Structure 1
């Protein structure tokens, strides 16, 4: 039997009914499938239980998560912990962030590998950790990673950063991350440093918008065809959900920095297209087959950034979408030990830290929009 929240039950009664439920001392009880979560507190209770399950996969010695959760996925887990703390005021997971900051660098100095999108996820994770802890070392690390990424911006395709050290592909995700990191750093630094980051963010957005990766449907394709480096074109690649998500957060953050009135409408158009075209009965669904360890992360990235857009543009449609997805996860995609699976409309398939983090992104987003 899956574990659900019953938001209608009084708090005091719920507290008495938690013995034996999943997630330790969380305020949850076993119920029949089909119950929905209806309040910010209920979503946060479910998130608290889900994070406890997530941390069962955490490896203290290396600061990462058990396989099949990969290097970049672990960065997203750190972001989820930070976002949970941001929303609740908790400091419970500060020690996890500190441990990962120290331990994970044993395998990857400065959190860098051969893929610049991987680097970007870690930069965002440490900015998010900085926001809730105030630890300046985290912000400095994000700046270090960003400096590395600036080194692979060149004139191929008219600009943009490469996907990997092989320099064989220019695509959406590293550039969306580059935009977001630059804008976030601009908003968290001062003086010449802030101005420099803002210039990078503006340069990235100007290039990205003109690159052709945003198609006529207002969806972002995977990348560019660069057989002719002076005339790169949209490659028609899969419109993965995370490519529709990161750009939302980047545009919101850039808007905070320079107040360009065109930025939020751009984000709104992409969000509307994604919700309409990448969902089944209102539940976010990848447009292509998800295999391997990367794809299970994608949907949560979209929901996290939709949360960011909602804070700037409180469109009721975003809340409705977030509620529907979080409720479906809780009702239809939860395993026997508070694990969440791949398909948010169900059925539950299996649990791992990547699936868990992605679903938690959706649940936390719903909580934030109440």
Structure 2
């Protein structure tokens, strides 16, 4: 089955300028037009709607989790711009990847599935519920229930080693099973906090508090609200060797969840302190002259394909924080606007290969250069789309809850059947182990040892 990727929108794009993405901040029509152009280029990377391809998957070299992140972004695109050109494609992809078990653990991904992989799809489903994205037909998995399924499975995987936390990988045979990382626990925290807000169920709020407290006790969130990548489990029960690399998406995912908890608790001082602390840490680390950067790898051109998409998620979660903790708007929104202007200036590329959107509108990765840097891909295009469209965040309704018009149907017991049973799988090859999971590669040249480290 092949679905049209916004035919009418694509025709409209053809008559626009082919030399750059034009953006006038404060002019909603200009912002929506720029976002439409960038979104068209982004969705041209997607092949899952082609006959014979798998709905929901991006082609190589992109991992499965990034497709979930992309569809979450596109759900927000619809909510912010009103453009429903891609809605049928989004729904097809989300429901196909939800799998027969309705928990975002599809058989074609189970061999290398990490908790964070599942998390990006679950967060997309939560976004659909909050935005009142059109509900799936009766008999199909529902957005809220899909997020609840992931939550329930994460709760069942809470690991007592080192006092708690989720491991990066779900199954023992995958590289990274001995690693507890902030992004996996961040997905759990983020969904738990948003479920608490949407449903009003205190159990979700209690879990959100528990996860955040564990991150602090494990040394992954410091008193200064630095947020480190993860910690290694050694000798089966010792969490040591904290990886102190800081990535933008870790700050963003905890900021968004903390803002949701601020809303749930009606302005609790402890959650306000966390929101404020993470914002301060984020600005110090991930902004250069008010323009967002991926501080660890961007200047040295060492960001891998995964890392080239992180800025878009930080942008999304900062924008969402302004809806849930409105007092943060005056701090965050100017940063969103300055990065949007810079990102649009980077969307002037017309590479010979690697981009099938409108010539002259390919978006580069670095926004501080004032021009296209030659890097193209899903991450670069998605980052720029986020930068541009989230400047409209104050023009749309705050995320819905069950009490404020949310229509998505939930299932508090979703995902609980058979979650403790590891599925029967074919033998694992060396190649499977090398490619396991949501593998984010950070290349670090040590001043002391000159060693090359591969980290998540």
Residue deviations 1:44-92 (CA, integer Å, cap 9, x gap): 2211111111111222032222333321111111111111122234433
Structure 2 partner of 1:46: 34
What is the match of residue 269 of structure 2? 261
TM-score after normalising by structure 2: 0.69
Give a deviation string over 1:28-51, Cα, whole Å, max 9, x none. 535689975443332222111111
* Residues 341 and 274 of structure 1, relative CA distance in 2, 3 Å threshold: same
More displaced stretch, 205-214 vs 323-332? 205-214
- Once the two structures are superposed, the pairs formed by residues 1-370 of structure 1 within 5 Å of their partners are 24-26=11-13, 28-29=16-17, 37-59=25-47, 60=49, 61-63=53-55, 64-104=57-97, 110-112=103-105, 113=110, 114-131=113-130, 132-135=133-136, 137-165=142-170, 166=172, 167-189=177-199, 194-215=201-222, 217-227=224-234, 232=239, 235-259=242-266, 260-289=268-297, 290-311=302-323, 312=325, 313-336=327-350, 337=359, 338-346=361-369, 347-369=372-394
- Structure 1 CA distance, aligned partners of 2:118 and 2:275? 24
Cα offset, 1:108, TM superposition? 9.8
CA-CA distance at 1:281 after TM superposition: 2.7
In 1: Cα distance, 2:28 partner to 2:273 partner: 27
CA distance in 1, matches of 2:287, 2:293: 5
For residues 28 and 92 of structure 1, the distance between their equivalents in structure 2, rounded to whole angstroms, comes to 17
Higher helix share: 1
Could you report, residue by residue, the CA deviation over 1:230-262 in whole angstroms, capped at 9, with x for unpaired residues?
Answer: 663571421111111100111112222233332
Go from structure 1 to structure 2 and tell me whether the alpha carbon gap of 1:332 and 1:108 turns closer, same or farther (over 3 Å shift).
Answer: farther
SS in 2 for 1:65: coil
User: 1:267: Cα distance to partner?
Assistant: 1.7
Give the structure-1-normalised TM-score: 0.84
CA change 1:152–1:34 in 2 (3 A) is same
Alignment root-mean-square deviation, CA: 2.8
Separation in 2 of the partners of 1:291 and 1:204? 28
Q: Judging changes above 3 Å, is the alpha-carbon distance between structure 1 residues 270 and 365 closer, same or farther for their aligned structure 2 residues?
A: same
Contact 2:219 2:242 in 1 (8 A): no
Gaps of 5+ in 2: 1-8, 351-358, 396-456
* 1:19 match: none
The DSSP-based 3-state class of the residue aligned with 1:226 is: strand
CA distance in 2, matches of 1:231, 1:201: 24
Q: Distance in 2 between matches of 1:221 and 1:212?
A: 8
Q: CA 1:213/1:286 → structure 2, altered by over 3 Å: closer, same or farther?
A: same
Q: Partners in 1 of 2:393 and 2:229 — Cα distance?
A: 29
- What does the per-residue CA deviation read over 1:106-135, in whole Å, with 9 as the maximum and x for residues that have no partner? 699732242000111110011112332244
How far the C-alpha of 1:367 sits from its partner, in A, is: 2.4
Q: 2:364, 2:349 → 1: CA distance?
A: 7
Residue number in structure 1 paired with 2:409: none
With over 3 angstroms needed to count, the CA separation of the structure-2 counterparts of 1:35 and 1:151, relative to structure 1, is: closer
- For these two proteins, the number of residue pairs brought into alignment is 346
Q: 1:246 to 1:81 in 2, by over 3 A?
A: same
